[in-house]
Structure 1
Amino acid sequence: MSNSKQVKHLWVRAGFGMRFEDFNEYGNSSINHVVKHLLKGESTSTAISTVPNNNDYEALIKGDIMARKMFLQNQKQQEKDLNLAWINQMSATDAPLLEKMTFFWHNHFACRTNNAQFAQQLNNIQRSNALGNFRTLLFQVAESPAMLQFLNNQQNQKGHPNENFARELMELFTIGRGNYTETDIKESARAFTGYGFNRTGEFVNRKFFHDDGIKTFMGKTGNFTGEDIMNMILERKETAHFISNKLYKYFVNENPDPEHVNAMANVFYKADYEIKPLLEYIFTADWFYDDKNTGNLIKSPIELLVGLNRQFYISYKQADVLLQFQHVLGQVLFYPPNVAGWPGGKNWIDSSSLMYRLKIPSILLNSGLIDFNGKADPEDEAYIAAVRNQQQMVATRVQAVPDWNKFFQYVPKSMGKTAIAQFMLEPKPGNTLINSINQATDIKTMVIELVSTPEYQLC
Structure 2
Amino acid sequence: MSSTAAMVGDVRAAHVVLSRLGYGPAEGEAARFVEMGLQAWLEGQLTPVDGDDARAAAALKAAKLRIAYEAGKNDEGDAYEALDEERGLETLGDEIAKHWWRTKWNKGVAWAERVRPLAELRCATVIRARESSYQLREVMVDFWHNHFHVNAGGDDIRASVAMPWYDRDVIRRDCLGNFREFVEAVASHPAMLAYLNNASSKASPANENFARELFELHTLGRGAYLNALFNRWRDVPGAMAGNAEGYIDQDVYEAARAFTGWTIADGGWNGMDNGRLPDGGAFLYMDAWHDHYQKRVLASEFDPSQPPLADGRKVLDLVAFHPATAKHVCMKLCRRLLMDEPTQALVERVVAVWNEHAKAKDQIARVVRAIVMSDEFAKTSPGKAKRPLELAMSFTRTTGAKVRADNAWSWSLEAAGQPMFAWPAPTGLPDVSSYWLSTSMMVSRWNMPILLMADWFKGTRVRLMKQMPDDADTAAKVVAFWSMRMIGMELDEPRRKVIERLVAGDDDVHAALDVGESELAQRVQRAVVGLAMSPEFQVR
Do they superpose with TM above 0.5?
A: yes
Kindly indicate whether the alpha-carbon contact (under 8 Å) linking 2:118 and 2:164 is maintained by their aligned counterparts in 1.
no
Report the Cα distance in structure 1 between the residues aligned to 2:493 and 2:191, rounded to whole angstroms.
51
- Once the two structures are overlaid, the 10-residue window that deviates more, 333-342 or 306-315, is 306-315
Aligned length: 424
Q: Does 1:401 align with 2:461?
A: yes
Q: State the match for 1:207 in structure 2.
A: 287
Q: State the match for 2:411 in structure 1.
A: 324
Report the Cα distance in structure 1 between the residues aligned to 2:460 and 2:112, rounded to whole angstroms.
28
Task: Write the letter of the residue equivalent to 2:123.
Answer: L
Report the Cα distance in structure 2 between the residues aligned to 1:410 and 1:180, rounded to whole angstroms.
65
2:284 counterpart SS class: strand
- Once the two structures are overlaid, the 10-residue window that deviates more, 342-351 or 124-133, is 342-351
Kindly indicate whether the alpha-carbon contact (under 8 Å) linking 2:27 and 2:397 is maintained by their aligned counterparts in 1.
no
Map 1:63-142 to 2 at 5 A.
64=106, 67=107, 69-70=108-109, 72-113=111-152, 114-115=157-158, 116-124=160-168, 125-142=170-187
- Structure 2: tracts of 5 or more residues without a match: 1-8, 61-88, 225-245, 267-279, 304-309, 505-522
Task: Write the letter of the residue equivalent to 2:341.
Answer: N
Q: State the match for 1:355 in structure 2.
A: 443
TM-score, with structure 2 as normaliser: 0.72
- Cα distance change, pair 316–281 in 1 and its aligned pair in 2 (3 A): closer
Q: State the match for 1:315 in structure 2.
A: 402
**Counting helix residues as a fraction of each chain, which structure ranks higher?**
1
1:105 positional shift: 0.5
Q: Does 1:231 align with 2:231?
A: no
Kindly indicate whether the alpha-carbon contact (under 8 Å) linking 1:362 and 1:452 is maintained by their aligned counterparts in 2.
no
- Cα distance change, pair 191–260 in 1 and its aligned pair in 2 (3 A): same
Kindly indicate whether the alpha-carbon contact (under 8 Å) linking 1:422 and 1:429 is maintained by their aligned counterparts in 2.
no
> Percent identity at matched positions?
22
Map 1:191-340 to 2 at 5 A.
191-199=258-266, 200-223=280-303, 225-272=311-358, 274-290=363-379, 293-315=380-402, 319-340=406-427
TM-score, with structure 1 as normaliser: 0.84
Q: State the match for 1:16 in structure 2.
A: 23
Kindly indicate whether the alpha-carbon contact (under 8 Å) linking 2:178 and 2:364 is maintained by their aligned counterparts in 1.
yes
Q: Does 1:158 align with 2:203?
A: yes
Kindly indicate whether the alpha-carbon contact (under 8 Å) linking 2:19 and 2:394 is maintained by their aligned counterparts in 1.
no
Q: State the match for 2:34 in structure 1.
A: 27
Report the Cα distance in structure 1 between the residues aligned to 2:301 and 2:470, rounded to whole angstroms.
63
Offset from partner CA, 1:162-218 (integer Å, 9 cap, x none): 111110001000111222111111110111111011121100111111112111111
Kindly indicate whether the alpha-carbon contact (under 8 Å) linking 2:190 and 2:281 is maintained by their aligned counterparts in 1.
yes
Kindly indicate whether the alpha-carbon contact (under 8 Å) linking 1:190 and 1:211 is maintained by their aligned counterparts in 2.
yes
Q: Does 1:188 align with 2:255?
A: yes
Report the Cα distance in structure 1 between the residues aligned to 2:367 and 2:247, rounded to whole angstroms.
25
Task: Write the letter of the residue equivalent to 1:355.
Answer: V
Kindly indicate whether the alpha-carbon contact (under 8 Å) linking 1:7 and 1:34 is maintained by their aligned counterparts in 2.
no
Task: Write the letter of the residue equivalent to 2:402.
Answer: S
Task: Write the letter of the residue equivalent to 2:48.
Answer: G
Report the Cα distance in structure 2 between the residues aligned to 1:38 and 1:107, rounded to whole angstroms.
21
- Cα distance change, pair 118–427 in 1 and its aligned pair in 2 (3 A): farther
Q: State the match for 2:520 in structure 1.
A: none
Task: Write the letter of the residue equivalent to 1:217.
Answer: V
- Cα distance change, pair 7–56 in 1 and its aligned pair in 2 (3 A): closer
- Cα distance change, pair 426–265 in 1 and its aligned pair in 2 (3 A): farther
Kindly indicate whether the alpha-carbon contact (under 8 Å) linking 1:39 and 1:131 is maintained by their aligned counterparts in 2.
yes
Task: Write the letter of the residue equivalent to 1:8.
Answer: H
Offset from partner CA, 1:364-386 (integer Å, 9 cap, x none): 22x265xxxxxxxxxxxxxxxxx
Asked which structure has the greater CA Rg, the reply is 2
Report the Cα distance in structure 2 between the residues aligned to 1:277 and 1:421, rounded to whole angstroms.
34
1:110 counterpart SS class: coil
Report the Cα distance in structure 1 between the residues aligned to 2:470 and 2:139, rounded to whole angstroms.
24
1:277 counterpart SS class: helix
Kindly indicate whether the alpha-carbon contact (under 8 Å) linking 2:149 and 2:426 is maintained by their aligned counterparts in 1.
yes
Report the Cα distance in structure 2 between the residues aligned to 1:312 and 1:5, rounded to whole angstroms.
16
Kindly indicate whether the alpha-carbon contact (under 8 Å) linking 1:253 and 1:297 is maintained by their aligned counterparts in 2.
yes
1:18 positional shift: 1.7
Task: Write the letter of the residue equivalent to 1:160.
Answer: P
User: Out of 418, 424, 428, which is 2:486 matched to?
Assistant: 424
Task: Write the letter of the residue equivalent to 2:191.
Answer: A
1:448 positional shift: 3.0
- Once the two structures are overlaid, the 10-residue window that deviates more, 442-451 or 110-119, is 442-451
Q: State the match for 1:456 in structure 2.
A: 537
1:220 positional shift: 1.2
Task: Write the letter of the residue equivalent to 2:369.
Answer: E
1:415 positional shift: 7.9
1:27 counterpart SS class: helix
- Structure 1: tracts of 5 or more residues without a match: 370-396
Report the Cα distance in structure 1 between the residues aligned to 2:257 and 2:371, rounded to whole angstroms.
38
1:28 counterpart SS class: helix
- Cα distance change, pair 216–368 in 1 and its aligned pair in 2 (3 A): closer
Task: Write the letter of the residue equivalent to 1:286.
Answer: D
